Chain A
Amino acid sequence: MKVPDLGTTLTTSTKFKVVDTSVPKVDGYALVKGKTVFTDDFNIPNALVVKILRSPHAHAIIRFVDASEALALEGVVCVLTHKDVPRVAYTRAGQGYPEPSPYDTFVLDKKVRYVGDAVAIVAAETEEIANRALKLIKVEYEVLPAVLDYEHASDDGMPVIHDEPEISGAYDPSRNIASHYEMHIEDVDKELAKCDVVVEGTYYTPNPSHAMMEPHTAISYFDPNGRLTIISSTQVPYHVRRIIRHIFGVESRVIKPRIGGGFGGKQAIHVEAYVTAVTLKTGRPARCVYTREETMTATNTRHAMRFKVRVGASKDGKLRVIDMDGLSNTGAYGEHALTTFMVAGSKTLPLYNKVKAVRFKGDVVYTNIEPAGAFRGYGAPQSMFALDSALDELAYKLGMDPIDFKLKNSIREGETSPVFRMMGEGREGVEQIIQSCKIEECALAGAKLFNWYEKKKRPKVKGTKARGCGVAFAMQGSSIPAIDMGGATIKMNDDGTFNLMIGATDLGTGSDTILAQIAAEALHTTTDKFIVYSSDTDVTPFDKGAYASSTTYVSGNATKRAAERMAQEILKAASEIMDKPIEELHLEDGKVISESGHSITYSEIQTKLFYSFKQRQLEVTESFVSEVSPPPYMVSFAEVEIDLETGKVDVLNFLSYVDCGTPINPKLARGQVEGATVQGIGMVLYEEHVFDKNGRMVTNDFFTYKIPSRKDVKNIKVEFAKSYEPTGPFGAKSVSEIGLDTPAPAIANAIFDAVGIRVKKLPIKSEDIFFALKNMAKSL
């Protein structure tokens, strides 16, 4: 196969002025200079400190709470228990409404369902007093047997975790099943019988933590007019507002300042309900900053999943069957339970659209551990580890290079997959024809750059070290089609600047910057002319929030539309001022220029419109919701070195070749892929939560829970394929999640290449490799 000709299918000029350049982040300096930008930096006078009393038991009924001693402590303002908050069932998940997640959560309940579940809310004048008060509250529990092993959560006779009558939207709570999904195309068993080579395997992925730098934080207060205001470190301010109204029946304004990372961990409401309860009760401002331990033990993790995979192919290398039987652990509550499980299928299966028969099914079960939630990749990294590993094994058995095998069976431009229509987010999906897919370039140019074929020919073992290479393919989506909506408002100022107001939630990703670039490109000016403000539910237009790889695509398209309409407004005003027909005018470098060579600056236009000529404020708002979700594609190559005497795995080289359409800001796009790669390496090699026999998480800090350090990441390289997505803003697709889909399979495949051990359980610990090597030596 030769490397395809580049750039022949681009439908629009790629001569951008602002887009596809690496302008500095609009908030970069403030962040590196340590300016007061985060939620906890807001100094709200007289704020109470809120702390949560948490359950020491994995599963128990609260018989009795005696807070009298705590209340007697000077400086304690209130202690709230389940009797003091509305008994309204909801889901913490911040997603499209109505949510596909079960309503199985209360602000405080009479039952606790994991070690760390909230029992009472304490508000005091100082943190010290609040902490002392926590120790003075007496709680009598009736301890129930707990469900700690998710593989047996729905066995007969297991304790029922959600027996509350108010629960709705769960599949079968009496058997601890939060959600269930199944789909099939043709008959997998019949098709498997026709295959020449079949591979079966069971794969396990764990429940890592997001480990974002800024813990969950929220402040609430009444503004001078009595409007409840919540400042929150959230990815979903509009969903927070809606859920707070649902629980407390109160309208609010939600402000999202700078966010110190979320990765999906802040796509749920955690702290907001607690501070709101205190402010509503006391009338006073309330502040709650989670400790690292709370962030680790009492928010969300990734869903641990098990996939039993069967794949089959004919001798000529045609993939005929993919059969995935899954089980997902949602922990104590079901936020994102169904949707993460469906994404595990919908963001992996369409990649191999040549397959004859497909089945994808399984349960999402409740257990008595910390609830799982949204986490970058949202199910796809879990299932791609299983699927890509199985396909790698299949290629090996067929005697084919995995690149050839995966390319032969993967999707191309102009093609579709029935999975797009069948699987959406908690419901049916939408049909789509792929308009941009450079997976062939990603694979072939990537292989060349990585020296794949040369490296594969090298001897594996040298002295006490073995080296190997692995490749993994991935896709993701760009937004949730027909559900995700984002808006953008652009207002022109008399100094030639624009206010760009978006509900889109920059959580450190750089979306404020890239949206300014998109607006600048469309308005023929520069990024520094944009004053970007995000997000404030009283000021900025609605946006679903930052998740599902949607901001660049959905909010970007909304911004582009708004900028284009603003351009029309400017031309119209200029035409009136200059007394020239619009057709003779065009925009260039912050000016309107006529065919006759006359020009007027944006600043001059708005100044005239303010003070002297047909007076008005130029301002536009546009929204965007997509009918499709164009997938980005990626091929990653990993080279590992294994110490045969200790079993330790080092990732020496990791190359990702990405098709994300036009990278609006290549440096930020690269950062997204690099960051996801490192997070992926963590998931593969280091990050594991250990629980004691009572369900208490032992690894609740960075001392015991190890994320990769700079020294664990040797050589990461990111390249972008030349690609243009016609439906995206200036050709862009998403790039934020896809980077997490490949590290697990690429590294596992590389380990197989190096030492012949097929790792099916993450994280891959030195110890496991070591004993597998020993067993292999024994059986030889």
Chain B
Amino acid sequence: MDFVFMIPNTEEELKTQLSEPGSFLMTGGTDLLVKVRIGKIKPKRVVSTIRIPTLHFLKDKIDEIVIGATITYSELMDFKPLIKNFPLLYDAIYTVGSPQIRNRGTLVGNVVNASPAGDGLLALYLLNAKIEISDGSVVPVEEFVTGPGQTALPSGEYVRAIHIPKYDWSVHYFEKVGQRNSMTISIASVGWLIRCKNRIIDEFRIAYGSVAPTVLRLRDVEEFAKGKHIDEDFTHSISKMVEERVHPIDDVRGSAKYRKILCANLVYRMIEEGTKC
């Protein structure tokens, strides 16, 4: 597994080095190196973003926070505005790997990796995050991820940052169901955001991980939920809709059948959660 390893110091150098075909981008390497080691990918060149100061930043603006490409999960978790404005994202990141993985891994890496099981990615889907690409374009995360491990990132470009708009939510929920409690890839994961008053829903977002080729936002369920009262009937209808819309597969972690019902069942967590508004 020989490959050339490049560590550019500026974004200009990065761009030049990336222009060579067959180059792989690496930041923390928590995913890429595992794939290289098991022979799943055989890169000729690996270009690391880790020493580029202009990619290492965190900005707390009035209407959004901006997360630079080389910000690790651990750095994010220490970033006070994150837990204040995006507790959902904090909860999701908290379940990623182990402390060691979180010290190396990055949220941008999670986005570019585009795994349907990406915990951080699921939160970004729910938060309508936007991805800032080195060519100057900014695209919604849902458009950026095009399939399992596939993105709309043009060849020779890289992700500079993630923009997450601030918004007030009454309820946030994230849960990852794995066989084990840490260092685990989920059998299924779910997250939702609810803006509500007296248990009447004003706005609702829901997404699932590990049950479709990409993270799955269920827009029609979200639309349906508007104006509804959070009670058992409501969760029952949502649960049925979810079961019809997720398309998990069988793998070593669990059967498709289990995952489908699991997704439907996880909705019932909302009854307790819903009382918070």
Residues of A within 8 A of B266 (CB): 645-646
Cβ-defined contact, B182 with A712, below 8 A: yes
Q: Which of B180, B252, B265, B269 has the most CB of A within 10 A?
A: B180
A708, B178: Cα distance in complex, Å: 12
Cβ-defined contact, B179 with A706, below 8 A: yes
Residues of B within 8 A of A686 (CB): 179-180
Interface size on B, residues (CB 8 A): 22
The answer to whether the Cβ of B55 comes within 8 Å of any Cβ in the partner chain is no
Q: B240-260: which have CB < 8 Å to A?
A: 252, 254-255, 258
A650, B183: Cα distance in complex, Å: 16
Interface size on A, residues (CB 8 A): 26
Cβ-defined contact, A703 with B34, below 8 A: yes
Checking A699, A703, A771 against B258 with a beta-carbon cut-off of 8 angstroms, the contacting residue is A771
Cβ-defined contact, A646 with B262, below 8 A: yes
Q: B138-186: which have CB < 8 Å to A?
A: 177, 179-184
Cβ-defined contact, A645 with B180, below 8 A: no
Q: Residues 707-747 of chain A: 1 if any B CB is under 8 Å from the residue's CB, otherwise 0?
A: 01111100000000000000000000000000000000000
Interface residue SS majority, chain A: loop
Cβ-defined contact, A685 with B265, below 8 A: no
- Check A706/B184 contact, CB under 8 A, given A767-B255, A770-B258, A770-B262: yes
Cβ-defined contact, B181 with A766, below 8 A: no
- Look across to chain B and name the residue whose beta carbon is closest to the beta carbon of A705: B252
A367, B72: Cα distance in complex, Å: 48
Q: Residues 645-661 of chain A: 1 if any B CB is under 8 Å from the residue's CB, otherwise 0?
A: 11010100000000000
Q: B30-55: which have CB < 8 Å to A?
A: 34, 38
Cβ-defined contact, B265 with A646, below 8 A: yes
Cβ-defined contact, B177 with A766, below 8 A: yes
Chain A: minimal CB distance from B165 (Å): 32
- Look across to chain B and name the residue whose beta carbon is closest to the beta carbon of A706: B180
Residues of B within 8 A of A174 (CB): none
Cβ-defined contact, B181 with A704, below 8 A: no
The answer to whether the Cβ of B77 comes within 8 Å of any Cβ in the partner chain is no
Checking B98, B181, B187, B268 against A645 with a beta-carbon cut-off of 8 angstroms, the contacting residue is B268
Cβ-defined contact, B179 with A685, below 8 A: yes
Chain A: minimal CB distance from B41 (Å): 15
The answer to whether the Cβ of A13 comes within 8 Å of any Cβ in the partner chain is no
- Check A690/B252 contact, CB under 8 A, given A703-B34, A709-B183, A711-B181: yes
The answer to whether the Cβ of A701 comes within 8 Å of any Cβ in the partner chain is yes
Q: B88-111: which have CB < 8 Å to A?
A: 98
Cβ-defined contact, B254 with A767, below 8 A: yes
A463, B273: Cα distance in complex, Å: 13
The answer to whether the Cβ of A565 comes within 8 Å of any Cβ in the partner chain is no
Cβ-defined contact, A711 with B182, below 8 A: yes
Q: Residues 624-651 of chain A: 1 if any B CB is under 8 Å from the residue's CB, otherwise 0?
A: 0000000000000000000001101010
Chain B: minimal CB distance from A645 (Å): 4
Cβ-defined contact, B268 with A709, below 8 A: no
Q: Residues 751-780 of chain A: 1 if any B CB is under 8 Å from the residue's CB, otherwise 0?
A: 000000000000001110011001000000
The answer to whether the Cβ of A464 comes within 8 Å of any Cβ in the partner chain is yes
Residues of B within 8 A of A158 (CB): none
Cβ-defined contact, A464 with B182, below 8 A: no
- Check A464/B38 contact, CB under 8 A, given A704-B252, A709-B182: no
- A686-B179, A706-B180 known, 4 other contacts, Cβ within 8 Å: A646-B177, A698-B252, A708-B180, A766-B179
Residues of chain A having any CB pair with chain B under 8 Å: 463-464, 645-646, 648, 650, 685-686, 690, 698-699, 701, 703-704, 706, 708-712, 765-767, 770-771, 774
- Show 20 residue pairs from A and B whose CB-CB distance is below 8 angstroms, ordered by the A residue: A463-B272, A464-B269, A645-B269, A646-B262, A646-B265, A648-B179, A650-B181, A685-B180, A698-B252, A699-B252, A701-B38, A704-B252, A709-B182, A711-B182, A766-B179, A766-B187, A766-B258, A770-B261, A770-B262, A774-B261
